[in-house]
Structure 1
């Protein structure tokens, strides 16, 4: 009955309050007469006769003032003044009635009655609010909870949550056979094998893990099982923390992402990290970032003499120092925050001189692929030249260890960020080959959970906002590792004496982003809005790959990957360049960055040396890669290339021709006396085993994957449409390379007309977004034969 009253519409509730305001008058008049009878017995009858008038006045004034329409929870802020006005009205009404009845002015009795009415009305509203709140909590429970662990922590949690708004504890889960079928705090205790009853019998949507003995693999397995039932699983921090903070409900934490990713949390083994870094002076660049901060935290746990935190962002440095200052004081380490860039030679030199650095961990880098893609100059300057400057300064200062934090995007890079990390690796590899006392190491790994911009926090925010979840591609996969695990393994690599080593951390198996999104939604007790569940709460929206992103990340595997002393660390042997090659590489990169023509930088990236873009088991036969355009320039650009069948033959023999190359020509490519020969050859390209033209609509342009490399190909119709927007922008006569940009690229008809692809060279150049690499006529001639 009371629950039905709570659900009534507001006008009906206001009518009830109006009735209660009027009904209060009669009992309060009786109470007033009872209290004043010994003092003024003759007044009692007069006041009793005035009661009907006071009842009417209370009802009318409550209605006119709007007091009855004020919500109970807003009474304290909006109703007190109106209640006082109503009480004053009753005082004046009672005074007038008594004066007329007795023939003399009577104020004491009406004033007492008015004050009593005011106080009782406030108490009445408070009582109604408390009653309505309790009814609402039980009838409109936000979350129905089961607690795992009939332990003291679980019992304490149940007691604390008993009066929490929106949280109703319905059952316990516990593995103990002695508790089978028992009750605790009036709640049933179920076995984990009966977990399916939580939803079916109790309508539970959340399980809180409150058993401190439930850790590691057991907890992860239980979390996955409960999440598969559509239950939101949350862990309870150590109960000792709650002795200082009783607000348990606010401190419940979602189960760690590793459990959702089916990857066991990193379990620390006996590693020589603490013994190596203890008492040393350590420099961490990028100390305000996710990886940098975790490196600092774990280094401080080892008890270094000094930890120099180098960071370009002032807010990041401030927060990192504030977080780590207490830990540094606890271990007696000197924490030195340094604001600036690792590419500042004066600052770097001063740090090495003043602090006698023993170990450098270089984690500073621009890492967000789409942002670096849009800002290639800044990305290359920071990731390549800052690394080169810091590594050389470390070598000159006689630093014992230098560790470069690299990325799996350096494997066959097709983005500016990946190319910058690979070039940084080449610089460090070359320095490691020199004679000197510094041991250089490079550590590659992929995505880390919880870092800025990573997918798990993004999905958490989107789920909390009600969706939608944004996926670049439903087929996309990524490798994951926790920040703590990555930092621990990086520090371990820094203790080894093997210079010029490139290490790759074991990232486990790749995770499909769609599966991750679905698991995170289900773990929150929600459902995806898809064909099977059209009424789901969360929708997934596919937004497409951003510039520079790969559909699938790559890890170095094969015979060139060797083991190390740790099972989660492998050693790889990518090619390197000699000192003169590195000098030329950095010189050309500097000239390309400083050049006002943006195509200089594109051309530089397109001509990176084989060592920068290939791994040992992926190197294409020499000469072929110079002719076949393979997306080596700006990431995800669609490249037109000219291929000689004789040069493609080695690829065809190894079954790598499935991706092939799109053959195209340029004005002037036709042999003398054979106008249109290129166009004719292109028309026949579909029928050739070694030349494939991918036919997909422009909006659905896909990537053809081959063992060699991804080929971003033009649709035939799209190529024909280039004639509307293509302008000749830059030519390099010495290499025969022509860089073009297209403005529109709209498909027109089905036939390909090479004569219309390029406009005459005297037309104005237009900066665009797509480049096409073409070759000299003599390179095309064998193909035409």
Structure 2
């Protein structure tokens, strides 16, 4: 409609222009109502000359100052409704007294006395009607415009198909407002796309101030890693928050939607590209086979299950001791498993009878043993339970697999098993030694283990913790300024575990190439800066997020290693190496494990630590024993 099309040009006028426009309308209404009052009094239309013109000029000269004094022009479109009507009524009453005093009480020749009474009433009605019309015509759109102006202002990086579709989706949203595009194509820069100018990426620091932009939406899903890293570095330096669309492979068919926007991929925080998996290795131990995953509800276990589901086993056994975690995973995977059977099993890997019952019932071809307590401080405070689960649970599961003819048994290990300073790492190295020793004794089951560092996004990982702390306004808590860790995404780690297990010959210790170690302080700073914020420190005391160093926790190391020896053997996969690690023979190891089991059952923490140092040569505990029960008993002893 023409009236609707005229709304935005009117609303976009400068405030002074809009006030002058309304003053003009009111002046015209003064003249119109004088002319109308003459008609009502005389029954005929008169020319506005002589006394009628004098009455009209007097009306304008009296009304506009009174209306200005009563604030009718301070807020033109927002000031509507009942308050506006009362203001118009009060102003019209004062004006009416003045106009009637001149033309009714005093009498002016040529102006009927009734005009002095009728005209103020007519002016009240017409001015009130004009305000009501403005509210009806402009009010809704004005409120929408006000809301639109308060939306976060964003730039879309990428003027291609994805960028245009994203900007189109945002045009009808109430979440953010697109104010321009960024694109590194010089042929596009300076042009206008869908009403928005296309800028050069190098202009971003200036645009952040001139356009009041705090967010950039990365809409180039096909970028390779070096290009993506270069763009993210520009964003980090420009102090803007970055959100991104998924990669092309992840985008569903159809138009790009706002819901597709998400936080930066974890790969973006690492700055490196995962290696494309080998489909032959992925399928070898899974396709058309019965597969068991222990610890299926955990971070690695659940991702292993997601990868396995895509490879079409005949049966996937989900073994987990947490009922809630098992239920959640089972519900997630059910829609993805229409052609094979999913079996959720509540069990503890320490339960010898239950494990034999499960393995003898389904006779799985492949077992991925991900069940473990993995949080270093938690296991340090509860060492006996950590060792029972991680060592004896692995032993129980491995013996059940051996007895029931499992072909491949793959242990999920950790870089903390290398020269460990904590009980968790020691328990995982001991679990590795159990499989190494059993591999020598077995001609049926191929035992192997895959060792890697931290996975981004897992429970207890620093990335979800830092993200939440940034959302809460800080501070970010860091145990030490020089802590470094190896990192990998969960999907990449799970894929490499499956591929490594497919290359096993028996007793193999596979080590994943995790690239260069990452300094956690640098990771925290990168996350803050890519959120469009500044780190508050002595160099920038006015920054947004403080990073607090809290001190190393019990058993925590500054640096992690992946190899005990120094000469890893390459494999056919560029990201998988094979280590050569010394271990005890089965008879000697089994005897010492019996002694360890007795100490665990009595929670003799001093003996446990001593036995661990005998069993794992690289174990060098730092600090005193911090087992909660042991500490409590020490405090109670003097009181008795």
TM-score normalised according to structure 2 size:
0.75
Corresponding residue for 1:625? none
1:416 aligns with 2:438: no
Whether the 8 Å CA contact 1:471–1:514 is kept in 2: the answer is yes
Corresponding residue for 1:134? 145
Matches within 5 A, 1:202-351: 202-237=211-246, 248=258, 250-329=259-338, 332-351=339-358
The Cα of 1:409 is off from its aligned counterpart by 0.9
Alpha-carbon separation, structure 2, partners of 1:277 and 1:205: 47
Deviations 1:593-648 (A, max 9, x none): 222xx5x223321343555132xxxxxxxxxxxxxxx943xx43399xxxxxxxxx
1:176 aligns with 2:180: no
1:485 aligns with 2:485: no
Whether the 8 Å CA contact 1:589–1:601 is kept in 2: the answer is no
Alpha-carbon separation, structure 1, partners of 2:571 and 2:147: 61
Whether the 8 Å CA contact 2:153–2:179 is kept in 1: the answer is no
Whether the 8 Å CA contact 1:479–1:509 is kept in 2: the answer is yes
Corresponding residue for 2:369? 362
1:556 aligns with 2:599: no
Alpha-carbon separation, structure 2, partners of 1:242 and 1:568: 29
The Cα of 1:333 is off from its aligned counterpart by 1.9
Whether the 8 Å CA contact 1:137–1:166 is kept in 2: the answer is no
Alpha-carbon separation, structure 2, partners of 1:136 and 1:409: 53
Matches within 5 A, 1:371-386: 371-386=378-393
Alpha-carbon separation, structure 2, partners of 1:320 and 1:605: 36
Matches within 5 A, 1:696-735: none
1:442 aligns with 2:429: no
1:470 to 466, 477, 486: 477
1:157 aligns with 2:161: no
Structure 1 gap segments, 5+ residues each: 7-22, 38-71, 87-116, 615-629, 640-729, 731-738, 744-763, 768-785
Alpha-carbon separation, structure 1, partners of 2:133 and 2:527: 47
Q: In the superposition, relative to structure 1, how do residues 323 and 244 fare at CA in structure 2: closer, same or farther (>3 Å)?
A: farther
The Cα of 1:351 is off from its aligned counterpart by 1.6
Corresponding residue for 1:574? 581
- Secondary structure class of the residue paired with 1:448: strand
1:144 aligns with 2:154: yes
Corresponding residue for 2:114? none
**Residues 199-208 or 284-293, more deviating:** 199-208
Matches within 5 A, 1:567-646: 567-595=574-602, 598=603, 600-610=604-614, 612-614=616-618, 631-632=620-621, 635-637=622-624
Deviations 1:486-510 (A, max 9, x none): 1111101111242011111112111
- Secondary structure class of the residue paired with 1:536: coil
1:502 aligns with 2:509: yes
Deviations 1:689-723 (A, max 9, x none): xxxxxxxxxxxxxxxxxxxxxxxxxxxxxxxxxxx
1:190 aligns with 2:194: no
Alpha-carbon separation, structure 1, partners of 2:612 and 2:170: 62
The Cα of 1:279 is off from its aligned counterpart by 0.2
Alpha-carbon separation, structure 1, partners of 2:426 and 2:638: 26
Q: In the superposition, relative to structure 1, how do residues 188 and 438 fare at CA in structure 2: closer, same or farther (>3 Å)?
A: same
Alpha-carbon separation, structure 1, partners of 2:492 and 2:596: 35
Structure 2 gap segments, 5+ residues each: 1-9, 16-25, 41-77, 87-127
The Cα of 1:246 is off from its aligned counterpart by 8.2
- Secondary structure class of the residue paired with 2:403: helix
Corresponding residue for 1:650? none
Whether the 8 Å CA contact 1:275–1:302 is kept in 2: the answer is no
Considering fraction of residues, name the structure with more helix: 2
- Secondary structure class of the residue paired with 1:284: strand
Alpha-carbon separation, structure 2, partners of 1:255 and 1:587: 49
Whether the 8 Å CA contact 2:285–2:366 is kept in 1: the answer is no
Alpha-carbon separation, structure 2, partners of 1:230 and 1:342: 49
The Cα of 1:281 is off from its aligned counterpart by 0.3
Deviations 1:659-702 (A, max 9, x none): xxxxxxxxxxxxxxxxxxxxxxxxxxxxxxxxxxxxxxxxxxxx
Corresponding residue for 2:120? none
- Secondary structure class of the residue paired with 1:178: coil
The Cα of 1:557 is off from its aligned counterpart by 5.7
Whether the 8 Å CA contact 1:449–1:483 is kept in 2: the answer is yes
Corresponding residue for 1:724? none
Alpha-carbon separation, structure 1, partners of 2:454 and 2:566: 24
Deviations 1:482-535 (A, max 9, x none): 111111111011112420111111121111111111110000110011112111
Whether the 8 Å CA contact 1:406–1:421 is kept in 2: the answer is yes
- Secondary structure class of the residue paired with 2:198: strand
- Secondary structure class of the residue paired with 2:342: strand
Alpha-carbon separation, structure 2, partners of 1:122 and 1:557: 82
Deviations 1:447-485 (A, max 9, x none): 001101100111111111111100011111111011111
Alpha-carbon separation, structure 1, partners of 2:189 and 2:136: 45
Alpha-carbon separation, structure 2, partners of 1:573 and 1:126: 80
Whether the 8 Å CA contact 1:406–1:445 is kept in 2: the answer is yes
Q: In the superposition, relative to structure 1, how do residues 589 and 558 fare at CA in structure 2: closer, same or farther (>3 Å)?
A: closer
Whether the 8 Å CA contact 2:478–2:547 is kept in 1: the answer is yes
Whether the 8 Å CA contact 1:303–1:333 is kept in 2: the answer is yes
Alpha-carbon separation, structure 2, partners of 1:122 and 1:421: 77
- Structure showing greater relative contact order (alpha-carbon pairs closer than 8 Å, 6 or more residues apart): 2
What is the RMSD of the two structures over their aligned residues, measured on CA atoms? 4.4
Corresponding residue for 2:468? 461
- Secondary structure class of the residue paired with 1:263: coil
Q: In the superposition, relative to structure 1, how do residues 609 and 543 fare at CA in structure 2: closer, same or farther (>3 Å)?
A: closer
TM-score normalised according to structure 1 size:
0.62
1:388 aligns with 2:395: yes
Q: In the superposition, relative to structure 1, how do residues 487 and 246 fare at CA in structure 2: closer, same or farther (>3 Å)?
A: closer
Deviations 1:7-65 (A, max 9, x none): xxxxxxxxxxxxxxxx9xx99xx9xx99xx9xxxxxxxxxxxxxxxxxxxxxxxxxxxx
**Residues 277-286 or 530-539, more deviating:** 530-539
- Secondary structure class of the residue paired with 1:433: helix
Whether the 8 Å CA contact 2:420–2:620 is kept in 1: the answer is no
- Secondary structure class of the residue paired with 1:171: strand
1:545 to 552, 556, 562: 552
Alpha-carbon separation, structure 1, partners of 2:472 and 2:513: 34
